[in-house]
Structure 1
Amino acid sequence: MTAHDRTPIPVLACLATAGAVVLLMMVFGLLLRLAQGGMLDLAPDTFYELLTLHGAGMVGIAALGSVAVMWYFLGQYVRLSGAVFVANLVLFLVGVVMILASVLFGGFAGAWTFLYPLPAQPMGVWSAHAAALFVGGLLVIGTGFLLLYLDVARAILGRYGSLGRALGWPQLFGHDDGRAPPVAVVASTMVLIINTIGITTGAAILVMTLVNLYVPAFGIDPLLAKNMTYFFGHVFINATIYMAVIAVYEILPRYTGRPWKSSKVVLAAWNASVIMVMTNYPHHLLMDFAMPEWALVAGQVISYASGLPVLVVTVIGALTNVHRSGMRWDLASGLLLLSVFGWGAGVIPAIIDATVVINQVMHNTLWVPGHFHTYLLLGMLPMVLGFMYFLARGGRPTDAAGAERGIDRIGFWVFAVAGLGFVLAFLAGGRAGAPRRYAEHLAQWLPYDRAGALFAALVLAATLVFVARFLLRLGSARGRVA
């Protein structure tokens, strides 16, 4: 493995952008929880506009931060194009401006899922142009990511000759010659496959939506539209975690001095996830009785199994790697281990919601944002934040002379404890029947909302510390990476 002499500026720019946008989206999320708790007076239109921005912004910025992790480590094994990476960042920013304009100036409030036929039936709340600007912004962002994945495919094929080799098929199905590709390459290949298909599907339904906005006679089958939308959304947001977890595989061994090998078990887990991530999306549609029964059954069964391969391998592998290693703990390693817990813990409420009889009662409650905030807030985000701290230390574990400051350690524990309290407030509210996506809640649900708002404020403060510390250390992040 070759080493970066200096961290590429585009990676740092990408992470700085991600940090700034995450903070803004957290502010929006805090405002939403305050409004639901009756502590802030927001007009319903404003509430749903902020909800749309929060959802779209968090999904997009999760992808941007995670792709920086993947690109940085994959670039140590294959030759990637810096120009394409920059193009993706530019297109992302253009798309963000379009989405902000559509919501803040056009009043679009159709949620980040843009579910047909809502964009074209706004009941006078927004115009077709505003909806088109939002949908177009998503298309621009998706185009940037698709270009980046095509470059990843070019680089991987140039180094390994085929996607099968990059997934470790010769070692998985044949003789293990000890030359299996690194986990970073296997994970990137898995993400390349699923997200290229997911983004292409999303682009197709976005284009159809655009046509429908201006040619209403061009109808779309609602069930097909919902399947395409949720397939795209499910794959895209899951891919963010699979990209970000590369930081766990790459950074923790540098602390422990124990290499994380691509064993047959690891290869089998990642290969299984290629299929499982793309076939378990029907758990989003368990309340759609028009769906074929076989699809719903498959969605439930595969949802039960899909969390196990990579997740179990990663959790057990991370614990094994750090156990009795004598490593020095710092913010980077602490956040990465926290992320493994968050990812693992997020599986539990997700599997519960994927059970048909429970889904019929719980799916449209706060239980659902509870489970995906566990994944993203306690899973994906600490992976990216840990990566940021790692780069801020020049790509080296903290030594005695460079120990973390007290504010870093306080920030870590505030983030971990408040983050757990935040998601538990969501889950408890969902269990009590509090609906999601409602601007106003009944009196019996307000305690959950207010607790969630308190924890959200603490999480925001801790994240502000992390991002500020990264920005102040950008000079160190440009240093030599071991």
Structure 2
Amino acid sequence: MSFMKNLVSGTNFDPDSLNALQKVTLRAVVMSFLFYGLVAIEGMIMRMVQVGPGAPIPDMFSHPDHYFSIMTVHPIVGIFGSTYQLVFGAFMFLVPYLTKKPLYSVKLANYVWLLITVGTALAWIAAFVWQYAPLYTLYWPLPADTAQFQVTGGIVFIIGVALIMIGTLGFIYNIYATIFARVGVHKDKTTKELLISGFGIDGMLNLWHKLTGRPPYSKEPALALPVVAIFRGTVDTFLDAIVILSAGILVLVYLIFDASGNPLSVASVDALLYKNYFWWGLDLVADGLVLIYVAGSWYLLATLITGQKLFMENVARAALMLELLVSWMVWSHHLLADQGQPEMMKLVSGEMVTAFELLTQGLALFITLVTLWKARPLKMTFELKYLLGGLVGFGLAVPAAIIQADMGMNRVLHNTQWIIGAHVHIALIVGLYMTLYSAVYVLWPIVTNNTKLYSHKLSSAHFWLHLIGGIGMGAFMGMAGLDGMLRRHLYVNGEFDTWMILAAICGSMLLIAWALFLLNIIMSVGLKGLIGIFMPAKDPTASYGIDQEIEPADDPAFAQ
């Protein structure tokens, strides 16, 4: 088939054959990768600005107002517009698939991706048009500072974030309504049984019974382990949404009063208390739902790829329950450098509890690797390669975080490029996204009804460019941080140009990798198919695989 025919019609993709659940999943995935491209371009702009005057970009990007507006919206687009969309889309498919029940509401699932898409777009517009730039952490009183930022931009930005959080709450309701539905295999399960299994308590009880020489508490848990991870991680997703939404309402009230000519005093809000509250919620993303969702994804991918039972499953279930306590108590490591933060909170929450995450995440990595190891020999399929890449990413990023979760080291590293490069970008770009790419390849034949992938060579090129580019960019940014490069500062004279040039080269690899991946997907489904994804589904079915099991790892389209 010619290039143009593939571009228009794809390989063998038929959007009319997809049911409602498949289509709503693909809609979220499409929007996720479009926003990923936007965030990659934004990242490259910031990298090029930091290179210095010789960078081949328009002068407007070097202006502080424009630069910091990009820095403000960059994580909003990346975390919520891209990552949330991809994760939510995948989980709203996986929960019905794994529980053998229909999704509670496809209509609500459509509202979820629409709300997050519109909300992300509004936040981006606020930064681009009005250059609203209080930085994504929204430290008080910056978001309500109308002396620096236009009120209109602030209102549009906060409305955008609020829509994202409302969409998030819709996702949460859909997930729990599906899990607790008393149909199918859960027809005879009680709410208590589902709660015990959802929180991983049955795993802890099984371990306790084994240690005390008693029969297992539950031989057949009510929920599969990946669903337990989704259940548990969604608790943090809910708390995070409430915190960010309430903080946004506070900012919105101040902006509206200012617009009406009756400004409120920003001194009425204690900045340190606000920062603790905000970071408690925001950290539930970084150290709560991300780590838990990722662990559950690793477990699912490992079992699908190997076709074997997960190693130490009861321990994995118990660890998810333990992570509940850990994720709620680690936020203070973001405030280790704050002089006003109580020393005991820094010590207990910021250092001791945070260090415990090395155990919980390390345990998830160990269980996944042993499961893969015991299944040797394994064919190096794309889903396996990306899974291993994701393990490498978190294997690098988590220790980088623990290093700076020390009061002494934090004074040196916290406000430098180290945290945003060696920790955050490697965790997200390499650890999280390579795990998600593995899930994309595993679910591809299921969600697209066995559509043939256009090019394995493009997939291989994407893998290596993304892996090397992600690790390289994060590492070079981290090295610049070790040399003293601040992360919320604009350098225009090439002070750290060597590290930034190297980071920009690696960032270019990431951008090229995204373009190749997007090309591969478009050539597989075709432009007609892409449009067809957003057309109403002829089949209203909100479930998949209830009558027939499909093993995605065995699909020949993904074997090299």
Query: 1:424 deviation in Å?
Result: 0.6
CA distance in 2: counterparts of 1:30 and 1:334, whole angstroms: 26
Query: 1:444 deviation in Å?
Result: 4.3
Partner of 1:463: 514
Partner of 1:16: 30
Partner of 1:168: 200
CA contact (8 A) 2:49 2:492 kept: no
1:337 maps to which of 388, 397, 410 = 388
Query: 1:272 deviation in Å?
Result: 0.8
Greater shift, 16-25 or 414-423, is seen at 414-423
2:165 maps to which of 128, 132, 142 = 142
Partner of 2:84: 63
CA contact (8 A) 2:131 2:153 kept: yes
TM-score (norm 2): 0.79
Partner of 2:220: 179
Q: 1:246 to 1:466 in 2, by over 3 A?
A: farther
SS in 2 for 1:189: helix
Query: 1:392 deviation in Å?
Result: 3.1
Q: 1:325 to 1:404 in 2, by over 3 A?
A: farther
2:435 maps to which of 371, 379, 383 = 383
TM-score (norm 1): 0.91
Greater shift, 436-445 or 204-213, is seen at 436-445
Partner AA of 2:433 in structure 1: L
Partner of 2:67: 47
Partner of 1:252: 302
CA distance in 2: counterparts of 1:380 and 1:55, whole angstroms: 14
2:400 maps to which of 346, 349, 352 = 349
Residues 75-94 of structure 1: pairs in structure 2 closer than 5 A: 75-76=96-97, 77=99, 78-80=101-103, 81-94=105-118
Q: 1:196 to 1:301 in 2, by over 3 A?
A: same
Q: 1:120 to 1:62 in 2, by over 3 A?
A: same
Partner AA of 1:136 in structure 2: I
Give the unaligned 5+ runs of structure 2.
Answer: 1-17, 207-215, 258-262, 534-543, 552-560
CA distance in 1: counterparts of 2:364 and 2:284, whole angstroms: 19
Q: 1:7 to 1:467 in 2, by over 3 A?
A: farther
Residues 203-352 of structure 1: pairs in structure 2 closer than 5 A: 203-215=245-257, 216-217=263-264, 219-238=268-287, 239-260=289-310, 263-298=313-348, 299-309=350-360, 311-323=361-373, 324-352=375-403
CA distance in 2: counterparts of 1:7 and 1:248, whole angstroms: 23
Query: 1:391 deviation in Å?
Result: 3.1
CA distance in 2: counterparts of 1:367 and 1:145, whole angstroms: 30
CA distance in 2: counterparts of 1:443 and 1:456, whole angstroms: 17
Equivalent residue pairs, number: 476
By relative contact order (CA 8 Å, sep 6+), the higher-ranking structure is 2
CA distance in 1: counterparts of 2:443 and 2:196, whole angstroms: 31
2:135 maps to which of 111, 114, 118 = 111
Partner AA of 2:29 in structure 1: L
Partner of 2:11: none
Give the unaligned 5+ runs of structure 1.
Answer: none
1:392 maps to which of 444, 452, 473 = 444
CA distance in 2: counterparts of 1:419 and 1:452, whole angstroms: 9
CA contact (8 A) 1:365 1:433 kept: yes
1:29 maps to which of 43, 64, 74 = 43
Query: 1:122 deviation in Å?
Result: 4.4
Query: 1:261 deviation in Å?
Result: 6.3
Q: Does residue 102 of structure 1 match 2:153?
A: no
Partner of 1:190: 232
TM-superposition CA deviations, 1:379-399 (whole Å, max 9, x none): 111122222223334479x9x
Percent identical among aligned pairs is 20
CA contact (8 A) 1:49 1:104 kept: yes
1:373 maps to which of 425, 433, 457 = 425
Query: 1:465 deviation in Å?
Result: 1.3
Query: 1:201 deviation in Å?
Result: 1.6
CA distance in 1: counterparts of 2:21 and 2:247, whole angstroms: 37
